[in-house]
A and B are shown apart, each in its own frame.
Chain A
Amino acid sequence: MRYSGFKVIKEALTGHKGWTPAWREPEPKPHYDIVIIGGGGHGLSTAHYLSKVFGLRNVAVIEKGWIGGGNVGRNTTIIRSNYLLDGNEPFYEFSLKLWEGLEQDVNYNAMVSQRGIINLIHTDAQRDAFTRRGNAMILNGADAELLDAEQVRKEYPFLNFNDARFPIKGGLAQRRGGTVRHDAVAWGYARSADSHGVDIIQNCEVTGFRIENGKCLGVETSKGFIGAGKVGCAVAGNSGRVMGMAGMRLPIESHVLQAFVSEGLKPVLPGVITFGAGHFYVSQSDKGGLVFGGDIDGYNSYAQRGNLPVVEDVCEGGMALMPMIGRARLLRMWGGIMDMSMDGSPIIDRTGIDGLYFNGGWCYGGFKATPASGFCFAHLLAKDEPHPTATAYRFDRFRTGRMIDEKGMGNQPNLH
């Protein structure tokens, strides 16, 4: 079924009887060409591109709970491609381009809204670093603008320009950055993949891999064994757990990241703002809630919940940056499990096991990568070679010393 304004009107006038499920609820077949573990944003987008772009239809996505229930359903919805390093920037720019055509591609309005993002500058060293980054973005074909304090003030007059502990000295803007309605991304990809024949199997938990003679033959699940020509794992925060079943240790730790939303408010924030002197980034959803976040709690966790010190830290950042939000109320806080990698950049690669592929290590930047991650993983699964924008995302970069460390924090995942 094709969604359109016309269809909405037609259904409204005929009692909404014609709407059908956005995706089927199939039972697993005994064997697929490709099984993707993980019905989150990345797994579902992989399925979409596999089926639509690479023409592979005998594909299943298996999800232990409900689709879209991982980080794609609990993030601060920001998209951008303002990366510095050559290993990253072309990939994220590719992702941003896919975002720009997402709705038409999947026939689902995920409300991609390029309202712009500004990373604020508070020190000279930060300006130097952002200048380098802005240049790298432009050299890679993305857009970037360096703003001075007055330009920032014009756009965001309510930021603290009076008594800030760390005065705002400017900002690095990417106008094509913005926000997306996060749940709709999962649903749009799922619906599209389903329409191209992909089986999306919810409430199906992987309990093990069947590996013989170094080849992965399929997965054991709570719904029985499912054979597969290839298995792709895209389970984000659960990467360590799932790949551990295949006997692999990863350059990844699982950490909790909290995010927050305020009560609904009339429009105050036109775009996305990130504070450069504290842990705080914020945008306003179409519904009116301020969606904001900060740093990870900092300790390994699979608990999907955090603690008060980080809540306070984030709100302190918010108040320091924009004291006019003081009387807005924080409505809800939640925690997701982040697959924090050893250099802060992801992995899309084969594993040492034939037929088993891995996609993970997204740290807390995986949402914006969703389209490109799926596209590049689909490329790898379909062609057995990496997509040109994802060649750096190899497992062995740590062994060979070719880390992609945007923040320069080294092998300590909680600092990325």
Chain B
Amino acid sequence: MIIHHPLLGPRDSSEFVYLGDASLINRPDWQAEDATEAFYDYAYLRDNPAGEHRELWFHEGGDRSWLVVTRNTATHEISKVELARDVARAQGRSK
């Protein structure tokens, strides 16, 4: 597969390491009342769609960016690639 890195252009997927669903960005609040349940859900349950899937890839053999790749799991077609950091910020994560 070829991943179009937003900073580095097209790169072979073998330069990357895969983690999983981009929902892993949405780490729950540790102080919330239902934190244990929320962390269980976060860590273990997946939509696992047969179709469009937002997922995390790490550019291990490159600039070490984490990317959010939108890829169709039925066809492997990639429709969007973003820096995970931008996605995280857009989702309100900060520090």
What residues make up the interface of A, taking CB atoms closer than 8 Å to B? 238-241, 244, 249-254, 298-303, 307, 309, 342, 398-399, 411-414
- Is B6 among interface residues, defined by CB-CB distance under 8 A? no
CB distance from B8 to the nearest CB of A (A): 19
Known: A307-B1, A398-B40, A399-B40. A299 touches B47 (CB 8 A): no
Q: Which residues of chain B (47-95) have a CB below 8 Å from chain A?
A: 47-50, 53, 55, 71, 73-76
Assess the A411–B50 pair: CB atoms within 8 A.
Answer: no
Chain B contacts for A413, CB-based, 8 A? 20
- Is B30 among interface residues, defined by CB-CB distance under 8 A? no
Assess the A254–B44 pair: CB atoms within 8 A.
Answer: no
Assess the A253–B46 pair: CB atoms within 8 A.
Answer: yes
Known: A399-B40, A412-B20, A414-B18. A303 touches B76 (CB 8 A): yes
Chain B contacts for A298, CB-based, 8 A? 18
Residue of chain A at shortest CB distance from B49: A240
Known: A253-B20, A254-B73, A413-B20. A300 touches B45 (CB 8 A): no
A106, B23: Cα distance in complex, Å: 46
Chain B contacts for A303, CB-based, 8 A? 73-76
CB distance from A238 to the nearest CB of B (A): 8
Which of B13, B21, B46, B75 is the one whose CB lies under 8 Å from A309? B13
A261, B4: Cα distance in complex, Å: 33
Residue of chain B at shortest CB distance from A240: B48
Known: A299-B55, A300-B73, A303-B75. A240 touches B18 (CB 8 A): no
Assess the B44–A300 pair: CB atoms within 8 A.
Answer: no
Chain A contacts for B14, CB-based, 8 A? 309
A113, B81: Cα distance in complex, Å: 48
Known: A302-B74, A414-B18. A251 touches B1 (CB 8 A): no
- Is B35 among interface residues, defined by CB-CB distance under 8 A? no
Known: A300-B20, A309-B13, A414-B20. A342 touches B75 (CB 8 A): no
Assess the B50–A240 pair: CB atoms within 8 A.
Answer: yes
Question: 12 new A-B pairs (CB below 8 Å) besides A249-B47, A249-B48, A399-B37?
Answer: A240-B47, A240-B49, A241-B48, A253-B20, A254-B48, A299-B13, A300-B20, A300-B55, A307-B1, A342-B43, A411-B44, A412-B20
CB within 8 Å: A-B pair count: 72
Assess the A300–B48 pair: CB atoms within 8 A.
Answer: yes
Assess the B19–A412 pair: CB atoms within 8 A.
Answer: yes
Interface of A is mostly: mixed
CB distance from A257 to the nearest CB of B (A): 14
Q: Which 5 A-B pairs have the closest CB atoms?
A: A240-B48, A302-B50, A249-B45, A309-B14, A398-B44
Residue of chain B at shortest CB distance from A248: B45
The proximity string for B residues 10-41 relative to A, scoring 1 for CB distances below 8 Å and 0 otherwise, is 00111000111100000000000000010010
Chain A contacts for B75, CB-based, 8 A? 303
Chain A contacts for B73, CB-based, 8 A? 254, 300-303
CB distance from A364 to the nearest CB of B (A): 16
Chain A contacts for B12, CB-based, 8 A? 309
A254, B37: Cα distance in complex, Å: 24
Assess the A252–B46 pair: CB atoms within 8 A.
Answer: yes
Chain B contacts for A398, CB-based, 8 A? 40, 43-44
Which of B43, B48, B74 is the one whose CB lies under 8 Å from A411? B43
A309, B13: Cα distance in complex, Å: 9
Chain A contacts for B49, CB-based, 8 A? 240, 244
CB distance from B23 to the nearest CB of A (A): 10
Which of B1, B43, B50 is the one whose CB lies under 8 Å from A254? B50
Assess the A241–B18 pair: CB atoms within 8 A.
Answer: no
12 A-B residue pairings within 8 Å (CB atoms): A240-B49, A244-B47, A244-B48, A244-B49, A249-B45, A249-B47, A251-B44, A253-B48, A300-B48, A300-B53, A303-B74, A307-B13
Chain B contacts for A253, CB-based, 8 A? 20-21, 46, 48
CB distance from A402 to the nearest CB of B (A): 12
Task: Specify which of B1, B43, B50, B53 lies most central, judged by the most chain A CB atoms within 10 Å of its CB.
Answer: B50
